[in-house]
Chain A
Amino acid sequence: MSVLKIETRINEFLIIEDPHQNNLLGEVVEAKTYNRYIPLNIYGDFVDNSVLESLRALGYNIDDDTIYIAKVRLLNEALYPIQTGSDVRIPEFMEVKDIMIKSSTEEGLTLGVIKNTDDLAKDMDDEFKDLLYTFEEGGLIPQNEIPYILDLKSMHHYPHIGVFGGSGSGKSFGLRVVLEELMVQNIPTIVLDPHFEMDFGEVASYMEEKSIDFTDKFKCLQVGTHVGVKFEDLSAQDLKNLLHAASNLTDSMNNVVDILFKPRDSYYSFYNRMQMLTEAQEEGSLDRIENRINNANDNDERKAWLDRRDLFISYDKTCPYNSVRGIIWRLKRLGNDGVFSKDIKEIEDGLQNGKLIVIQGSTRILQVFSTYLLSNLYHKRRDYKDALYKKTTAEYFPPFLIVTDEAHNFAPKGYDSPSKSILKEISQEGRKYGVFLILATQRPTLLDETITAQLNTKLIFRTVRASDIQTIQEETDLTAEECRRLPYLRTGDVFISSANMGRTIFARIRAALTTSPHTLNPFDELKSKSKEDDDKFLNIIMSKLPINDIELAQVALEIEKETNITYTVNNLEERLKQMVDKNHIKKEETIFGYRYKV
């Protein structure tokens, strides 16, 4: 504890000038103010404001008696107790540079600013100034604090990043900023995007001309439309994983795939084999199949049944009818999703060119596809590295990052999922091969524990759920006090707990340069849509006003002729009434009934 005349804020750095030890650097972990005259209570008297105002008029401001009390955690343990009465001061930038900035802007990801460092930032090197803007209530604010630069190279030693935070906490924006920085650095990256939000083509409205054009740096690919699984490349295991992702497989079904699936099978050859086997099994016995062969109407039919007979003989005992049907159903489901209609060539090319590849699809499709995709890419990279080690040759495949939101869907705790096993493998040995994970989730409690344990850097945004706070407290070096602050963090404020830094840093994520396509408020959308419709309608009828009620049918006919838009009389009248309600046109009674006019 130290009593200060300087105003201190939480997470600010202070130097304690102990006369017997060198300067000790510490971080404020608790800040309080104290005024011995406030709460306005002296000897039990309650002081009213008018008296304080009077004292102020006499030249005495009671607020000036406020002292600041800070609890400071030393960065390095002090060998001796700190001398009572040691002076405390705010450090110079150079004194904290090494612990604040671990990487240059060229080599790191400039994610935001370290909070409450504006005093330090004044004499900061120019290379760290004016790198970014933060977004506050009032709009964009130029950087006036020390930048937080995530040391990308340190991922080699401290791989994998976790991004935790509830909805609205700034997690998605944080992820967007990370991805923008990765694009700036041309780091090959795969993004699994179940929300269809990781598009970087749209410049954020608040950025004006300060943005960077990312158009050539990323590519959005949709599963089934742009990319898919090349069936011919699948191994039996791959296929089982895929089918399993579509819906759980029983042991017997697994067995069916092992038996019926042949290397180099195409989707159709595999599908037909199963289809024919079930048709044979539906006949019920070999005798009845023979019967079919004998009574065939033509050669083709005979040939078909002969094939079915062979399959029946080979597989009926080992492949129960129901299991085969189960596989067919799952295969068809994947086929209908378009999973087997494309390949992953475009993804590989993108990575080779240092691009950010965004894979979009529903959560279920992504689970299926990512299982195949990630293990495929990971093994390509692994084969290349292993080949280097064994001094054989293999095609070059670059190191890359895998980024996903809703990571608990891909690697859930407590039950198995196909994508989990590959993510687990990468989390445990990806470091060796230069394959790293950035996993974001709003439910860290639901994320597989082995994987959570491998996340060396964690960005923790506002979290409200008690069970998640508990998990965070267990899995990070956040103190109990910091955890207590978690539910109250402002959107975009984040604790960054990083093995590389050796301590938790309180930071604010910078304003993203680009914006998600989903930022339009749905209620604004409704409004603008109906305005658009109204304008269109007004445009059509303006020239026809005034319209008497008896002319409605005539007008509807004219409109259809001119614009090809069909209104029934009722319809047209309904719309006209709406326009009256909205004060666009007027309705008046005449002796002949009523009419609509401008």
Chain B
Amino acid sequence: MDALNNKLKEKVVDLNTILTEKYGSILKMNRQEIRSFINNYVGHIKKMEKLDKDQLSIYQSKGGIVGVDGSVNKIGGAYPHFVEIYQALAKSTTHRDDNIVLADLYTPLYTEQEETTLENEVRIIDDKRNMKLSTIEVDAAIESVKNHKPYAILMDGGLIRYNINAHDRWMELRNLCEQEGVILVGVIKDIKTSIIGDKIKEVDKSIKDTFYDRELLFGQLDYGEMITINEEANRKEPKGYASIFLRSSLAPTVIGMDIIDSQREYIEEMARLIFTLTPENSRGVPLWLDIVDKEVLISDDMIKSMMEEYMDRGLYERFFISERDKRN
């Protein structure tokens, strides 16, 4: 064990060195510099106020807020002997007993079309998962627009991925929202963009590395500050979305928010809503999305017992019980 540990330790030390080298210049930049760079090139940094009760009550009277989130459970072992189970939930603050729940599943053992080349397995599974999960999430949102008629829908995650993974259904949701006047936003807990980094590269040609927004923004915003990203700087594809960054809690991380272009005028209002719904001492996620997330989540044990109850024991055992499952 000791030898292995030393090897591992060396690797970790190396990683630290590499990161220090790469990020040295960025880490050395002072806060003021970064903030003024952002103000000049990316978007205006602005302090937000929380919404007051009266404003929230108006939302409530206009149909409340809906949160949409999905969950994935994987049962079984290695490819292709597993099944993934997807669930999506749309939950309204005003329709307590009217949750919209949709489900789907995927297993390589049964596919609609031929595609069983092993090299592609990871990509295929990812695609399948993204497609199926996005689809049911969007469908749940569509149903919620029809049934709950909410003031706004908060999707868990960026809107762009729906555009990519469930394009047709997404377009339907978009149109429906525009038609019904339902504000549609995506809340991105883990921002993966590099909008600021790209801008830095553009301005300072000497910088070759790509820096991600998450790294750059860490600790740079004050509690309650937001950046409305200039249309010019936001070159994300596909087009049609406006984005902001905001620090919604005392944690130094920054979250992102998307809104569809046609509803850009509500962007600040929605940012304030998210700020209002996020506990001060939290990771920065609006509580409503956490509640939806907690509710949509099913434990693996629950799924297993369901499989055991509703599948033939022989089939279940043959396909989906891995060696790992039997270990204890």
Contacts and interface: CB of A to CB of B under 8 A. Distances in A.
Chain B at the A interface: SS class? mixed
Interface string B283-294: 101011011001
Interface stretch (A43-51, A69-77, A295-303, A470-478): A43-51
Contacts of A53: 53
Nearest to B295: A36
Contact of B283 (A45, A48, A57): A45
B62 to A, nearest CB: 10
A58 B94 contact: yes
Contact of B94 (A46, A51, A60): A60
Contacts of B93: 55, 58-60
A64 B280 CA distance: 23
A469 to B, nearest CB: 41
A396 interface: no
B276 interface: yes
Interface in B59-98: 59-60, 64-65, 92-94, 96
A48 B276 contact: no
Contacts of A52: 287
B258 to A, nearest CB: 21
B193 interface: no
A43 to B, nearest CB: 7
Contact of A46 (B56, B59, B282): B282
A44 B276 CA distance: 19
Interface in B90-122: 92-94, 96
Given A57-B60, A58-B56, A47 B282 contact: yes
Given A57-B57, A60-B93, A60-B96, A43 B290 contact: yes
Contacts of A60: 64, 93-94, 96, 288
Interface residues on B, range: 20 to 34
A400 B285 CA distance: 75
Contact of B64 (A44, A47, A58): A58
B287 A58 contact: no
A59 B60 contact: yes
A318 interface: no
A47 B53 contact: no
Interface in A19-37: 36-37
A42 B285 CA distance: 11
Interface in B25-63: 50-51, 53, 56-57, 59-60
B317 to A, nearest CB: 24
Nearest to A58: B93
A59 B56 CA distance: 9
Interface in A46-97: 46-48, 50-55, 57-60, 64
A48 B278 CA distance: 9
Contact of A58 (B60, B278, B290): B60
Interface of A, secondary structure class, is mixed
B277 A59 contact: no
B56 A42 contact: no
Contact of A42 (B92, B277, B291): B291
A50 B51 CA distance: 11
B60 A36 contact: no
Given A58-B60, A60-B96, A45 B281 contact: yes
A554 to B, nearest CB: 78
B279 A59 contact: no
A59 B53 CA distance: 11
Interface string A226-256: 0000000000000000000000000000000
28 contacts: A36-B294, A37-B294, A42-B287, A43-B290, A45-B282, A45-B283, A46-B279, A46-B281, A51-B287, A53-B53, A54-B50, A54-B51, A54-B53, A54-B276, A55-B277, A55-B287, A57-B56, A57-B57, A57-B60, A58-B56, A58-B60, A58-B64, A58-B93, A58-B94, A58-B288, A59-B60, A60-B93, A60-B94
Interface of B: 50-51, 53, 56-57, 59-60, 64-65, 92-94, 96, 276-283, 285, 287-288, 290-291, 294
